[in-house]
Chain A
Amino acid sequence: MRWLPEIHFERRLKPPRWLGPATPPIAVIVALAIGALVLWASGRDPVDIYQRMVRAAFTNPGAFSNTLVSATPILLTGLAAAITFRMKVWNIGADGQLMIGGVLAAAAGTFFAGQSLPVVMALMLLAGIVGGALWAAIAAVLRAYLNTNEVLTTLMLNYIAPLILFYLVFSSTSYWRDLSSQHAKVFPLAKTLAEEHFWPEYGTTVVVPFGFILGAVLAVVLLFLVRSTRFGFQMRVSADSPAAGRYAGIRTGRLLVVVMLLSGAVAGIAGASQIGDFSHRLEPRNLQFAVYGYTGIAVAALVRYHPVGVVISAVLVGALSNAGFNLQGLDLPLGLIGVNQGIILLLVAASEVSTRYRLVIGRRGRDETRAPPDGESGSTAVVDGIGNERPSRGADS
């Protein structure tokens, strides 16, 4: 491409230490700058809008509490994405898993109406975990045992899950549908959780939902799981090199299923939290349009799938969503938030290259970038090129 600047890469063996922590803030700043450009290009005042966004997300009374409300589901879906993406298993089905988790949690919450709050919460969480894991299991089993592309299956399941919700609430007289209340006679509604079973909140000036605390605890647990356990060791090996994993005796298929189920379970908790913490009943349309799953991917990628980092980035992205939601209207179309998130994700994905290469723009010859010939490179290639081929001189020649 002559019209592009010539970009070369110098391989580096170790990225500089500052690079990891520096990437997320740079990505966010650049994304906001591009967002400002989009605003400016469509005839709006970016400075004014950003000021109002900061107020709406942080400084207005109750704003930060609302930010935490927005952060809660994407914290959990972010963790769900972090678990699998780390392993290069692309579970992009957190949306569907969240919804099915929500379906079961809603059922549990209304069915055990006579129980105490802790019992109902535990049952709802369990139901959410089971629902999310079950929905993830479809794609997990297909991938592990039939080698079916999990990107497509989890995605298709994302389109099917809301249809199930619609069916349960709008097109049938299922257990979930409220058939008695006055409201429900005008417009179909799902059953509502008893008020004493709403999940607790903590704090006064800043109100922290239970789901957020749960997510933060989960993040720490997951960090330990990956860093310090044998299971985490298996995850790290398989993520780095599946062939080495098999060689080391790791049953990679089973590991993949377990990791997907874990991810689905965490997304299912997000569904339970939606019901218990916020909506208190199944809201099919809200869940369909929220796209918590995709946002979770951006949240997780921003911190390179570091579980504890997900907590911070979820608050940040939650602030963005909260502000966008508050200012929503002709002044600030909601789509801008998606634009910002998309750019953040794109920048983070693009910055991955800088951990292994140093960018050199249009200065040196292309071959400078090669690794020194330590007598190894040429011959290892032969292994892949020839060693793995079928036996030569086929039987019939």
Chain B
Amino acid sequence: MNESLLVDLLTAGLLYGTPLVLAGLGELLAERGGVMNLGVEAMMLMGAVSAFWFVQSFEGPARLAIFLAILVAALVGMAMATLYAFVVITLRANQVVSGLALLILGGAAGLSSYLAAVGELAGPAGRHRLPTYDVLGLSDAPIVGPVIFGQNVLVYASWILVALAAFYLYRTQTGLHLQAVGEDPRSADAMGINVSRYRYGHTIIGGAFAGVAGSYYTLAIQPTWIDGITAGAGWIAIALVITAFWRPGLLLAGAYLFGIVTSLGFTLQARGVDLAPEIFRSLPYVLTILAVVIVSRGGGRGRFKAPAALGEPYSREEA
């Protein structure tokens, strides 16, 4: 039963969806504060390469290596995000251009590829990969076993983080402040909320999430290195935030849907379905366009709209 197509699709959806959840959640927090970071893909790649480098060169027990690699990926993502935050928050640079700059800087033909070359990472398979758990001994249970009880630690972490983010946004004073900063920074500032501190904080945390999401590729999905290993997942994560109306719960659902679509090609091919691979590989991108179109048509009403100050630099001086 656990060899059925359904289970295959669900597990693959979780596998490919988890980095989207993590990166999307990070972007969601930043965007709720009004900062749009188009450099997610680059932060993910930097996280991926640094985590991989770490596991390849660290001598020590596997679990420690994995744990530290994830930590390193988070820190590298934070460093990238800090640079970005400085440019767009303190220097008020245009967020689209700066995001693309970050993308080129760290992206598939940038620093991540440079580091991979310097570290001679291409080729050999990873020495460690994220272990999966057999939670409560239920991982063999029909259908739900492999899907819910047999996942790795980052999957479980992502579920907890989604719940925490939702609580944070809707039930804490800080979350309320964050929303105010993203909706109306001028009023927030007038109410004594430090707009740039909130923006810095959430952009940097977003970077950490993206870094960890990147590490998921080299530690779980495909423990090896090729340049541009994330293949546009950072962009899909950004699109997911929009199509999830900036809500953590919807983001989780959307990410798994995209995960399933991404894996459709591999899953069906493994079962002998013969179709040009390009068709499957284009599905997530086509689906993203469709989703963004549908949202931009139907959305924009009531509370289901983008944070009003998204992408706008804030300065007290501008009247």
Contact = CB atoms under 8 A, between A and B. Distances in A.
> Is chain B in direct contact with chain A in the complex (CB below 8 A)?
yes
Interface of A: 1, 4, 7, 9, 11, 38, 42, 85, 90, 92, 142, 146-149, 151-153, 155-157, 159-160, 163-164, 166-167, 171-172, 289, 291, 294-295, 297-298, 301, 330, 333-339, 341-343, 345-346, 348-350, 352-353, 357, 366, 369-371, 376-377, 380-381
Contact of A381 (B98, B105, B319): B319
15 contacts: A4-B90, A7-B90, A11-B317, A149-B242, A152-B238, A153-B292, A159-B235, A171-B277, A297-B97, A298-B101, A333-B117, A346-B93, A349-B87, A353-B92, A369-B317
Interface string B265-294: 000000000001111011001101100110
A259 B155 CA distance: 44
A374 B316 CA distance: 16
Contact of A334 (B94, B109, B317): B109
A159 B232 contact: yes
Contacts of B293: 142, 146, 148, 153
Contacts of B117: 330, 333-335
Contact of B285 (A156, A167, A346, A377): A156
Interface majority SS (helix, strand, loop, mixed), chain A:
helix
Contact of A346 (B98, B227, B239): B98
Contacts of A345: 97-98, 100-101, 104-105
B93 A160 contact: no
A76 B91 CA distance: 30
Nearest to A338: B110
A301 B97 CA distance: 8
A148 B292 contact: yes
B307 interface: no
B28 interface: no
Nearest to A155: B235
B115 interface: yes
B12 interface: no
B57 to A, nearest CB: 14
Contacts of B112: 335
Contact of B288 (A152, A172, A343): A152
Interface residues of B, number: 60
B281 A163 contact: yes
Contacts of A338: 104-105, 107-111, 113-114
A346 B101 contact: yes
Contacts, number: 183
Nearest to A359: B91
Interface string B221-254: 0000001000110010011001000000000000
A159 B108 CA distance: 13
B180 interface: no
Nearest to B279: A167
Contacts of B277: 171
B110 A1 contact: no
Nearest to B238: A152
A229 to B, nearest CB: 26
B43 interface: no
Contact of A333 (B86, B114, B235): B114
A344 B185 CA distance: 30
Nearest to B97: A349
Interface in B170-217: 196-197, 200
Given A148-B296, A152-B242, A335-B109, A160 B317 contact: no
Given A146-B296, A152-B235, A152-B242, A160 B104 contact: no
Contact of B110 (A342, A376, A381): A342
